[in-house]
Structure 1
Amino acid sequence: MQGPFSTRRGAALYLAASLLLGLVMGALVVNTVGAAWSNGLLFAIPVTLVYCFATGFSAYYVCRAYPLAEKPPFSILTVLCLSAVVSAALLAAIGLAWNGLLQAAEVAWAGVEITAPLKAMIFGLGVVLYGLSAAVHYLAIEFGKARLAERRELESKLLAQEAELRMLRTQIDPHFLFNSLNSISALTGSNPAAARQMTLQLSDFFRLSLGLEAHTKVTLEAECALARHFLAIEKVRFGSRLTVEQDIADDAGPCLLPPLILQPLVENAVKHGIGNLVAGGAVRVAARRTGSVLRISVENDVDDDQPGAPGNGIGLANVRQRLAAAYGHEASVACALEDKLYRVSITLPAQTTES
Structure 2
Amino acid sequence: MLAPTGNRRSAVLYLLAWLLLGVALGGAIAAAFDARWVNAMIFAIPATVLYGVGAGFSAYYLCRAYPLAERSLAGVVTALGASAVVSALLWSALLEGWNTLGSALNVAWAGIDYTPSLKAVLFGLGVLLYGLLAAINYLATESERASSALQRELQSRLAAREAELRMLRTQIDPHFLFNSLNSISALTSQNPKGAREMTLQLASFFRLSLGVAEHAVIPLAQEMQLIRHFLAVEKVRFGDRLQLEEAIEPEAESCAVPPMLIQPLVENAVKHGIAGLPEGGKIRVAARRAGSQLRIVVDNAMDADGPAPRREGNGIGLANVRQRLAGSYGSEAAVHWGARDGVFVVEMTLPAQTGEESRK
Deviations 1:13-49 (A, max 9, x none): 4233323322331222113321132322232122111
Deviations 1:273-294 (A, max 9, x none): 1112222221111112222222
Rounded Cα–Cα distance in structure 1 between residues aligned with 2:293 and 2:205: 29
Larger mean CA deviation between 251-260 and 113-122 belongs to 251-260
Contact 1:276 1:308 in 2 (8 A): no
Alignment of 1:201-280 (within 5 A): 201-280=201-280
Rounded Cα–Cα distance in structure 2 between residues aligned with 1:232 and 1:164: 30
Aligned counterpart for 2:322 among listed residues 316, 320, 323? 320
| Secondary structure class of the residue paired with 1:108 | coil
Deviations 1:27-82 (A, max 9, x none): 22113321132322232122111111111110010111011111121121111111
Alignment of 1:7-156 (within 5 A): 7-156=7-156
Q: In structure 1, give the amino acid aligned to 2:324.
A: R
Scaled by the length of structure 2, the TM-score of the pair is 0.92
The 1:3–1:249 alpha-carbon spacing in structure 2 relative to 1, beyond 3 Å, is farther
Rounded Cα–Cα distance in structure 1 between residues aligned with 2:350 and 2:205: 26
1:346 counterpart residue number? 348
1:303 counterpart residue number? 303
Rounded Cα–Cα distance in structure 2 between residues aligned with 1:216 and 1:174: 19
The 1:123–1:301 alpha-carbon spacing in structure 2 relative to 1, beyond 3 Å, is same
Aligned pair 1:331/2:329, yes or no?
Answer: no
| Secondary structure class of the residue paired with 2:140 | helix
Deviations 1:290-313 (A, max 9, x none): 222221111112221226525432
RMSD: 1.9
Contact 2:4 2:53 in 1 (8 A): no
User: What is the CA-CA distance between 1:164 and the residue it aligns to?
Assistant: 1.1
Identity %: 58
Rounded Cα–Cα distance in structure 1 between residues aligned with 2:256 and 2:143: 36
Alignment of 1:160-171 (within 5 A): 160-171=160-171
Consecutive aligned runs of 4 or more in structure 1 exceeding 6 Å deviation? none
| Secondary structure class of the residue paired with 1:299 | strand
Larger mean CA deviation between 101-110 and 124-133 belongs to 101-110
Rounded Cα–Cα distance in structure 2 between residues aligned with 1:250 and 1:5: 56
Q: In structure 1, give the amino acid aligned to 2:223.
A: E
Rounded Cα–Cα distance in structure 2 between residues aligned with 1:247 and 1:23: 75
| Secondary structure class of the residue paired with 1:213 | coil
Larger mean CA deviation between 255-264 and 118-127 belongs to 255-264
Q: In structure 2, give the amino acid aligned to 1:123.
A: F
Rounded Cα–Cα distance in structure 1 between residues aligned with 2:283 and 2:208: 21
Rounded Cα–Cα distance in structure 1 between residues aligned with 2:151 and 2:46: 41
Q: In structure 1, give the amino acid aligned to 2:55.
A: T
User: What is the CA-CA distance between 1:105 and the residue it aligns to?
Assistant: 4.7
| Secondary structure class of the residue paired with 1:345 | strand
Larger mean CA deviation between 333-342 and 11-20 belongs to 11-20
Rounded Cα–Cα distance in structure 1 between residues aligned with 2:236 and 2:286: 23
Rounded Cα–Cα distance in structure 2 between residues aligned with 1:28 and 1:117: 14
The answer for unaligned runs of 5 or more in structure 2 is: none
| Secondary structure class of the residue paired with 1:3 | coil
The 1:55–1:211 alpha-carbon spacing in structure 2 relative to 1, beyond 3 Å, is same
| Secondary structure class of the residue paired with 2:139 | helix
Q: In structure 2, give the amino acid aligned to 1:216.
A: A
The 1:224–1:105 alpha-carbon spacing in structure 2 relative to 1, beyond 3 Å, is farther
User: What is the CA-CA distance between 1:160 and the residue it aligns to?
Assistant: 1.0
User: What is the CA-CA distance between 1:124 and the residue it aligns to?
Assistant: 0.9
Rounded Cα–Cα distance in structure 2 between residues aligned with 1:326 and 1:70: 39
Deviations 1:233-289 (A, max 9, x none): 111122222111222222322222222111110101111111122222211111122
User: What is the CA-CA distance between 1:316 and the residue it aligns to?
Assistant: 0.8
Larger mean CA deviation between 10-19 and 329-338 belongs to 10-19
Larger mean CA deviation between 39-48 and 264-273 belongs to 39-48
Contact 1:273 1:310 in 2 (8 A): no
The 1:78–1:308 alpha-carbon spacing in structure 2 relative to 1, beyond 3 Å, is closer
Aligned pair 1:181/2:186, yes or no?
Answer: no
Q: What count of residue pairs does the alignment treat as equivalent?
A: 355
| Secondary structure class of the residue paired with 2:294 | strand
The 1:96–1:273 alpha-carbon spacing in structure 2 relative to 1, beyond 3 Å, is same
Larger mean CA deviation between 236-245 and 14-23 belongs to 14-23
Larger mean CA deviation between 93-102 and 290-299 belongs to 93-102
Q: In structure 2, give the amino acid aligned to 1:331.
A: A
Scaled by the length of structure 1, the TM-score of the pair is 0.94
Q: In structure 1, give the amino acid aligned to 2:321.
A: V
| Secondary structure class of the residue paired with 1:259 | coil
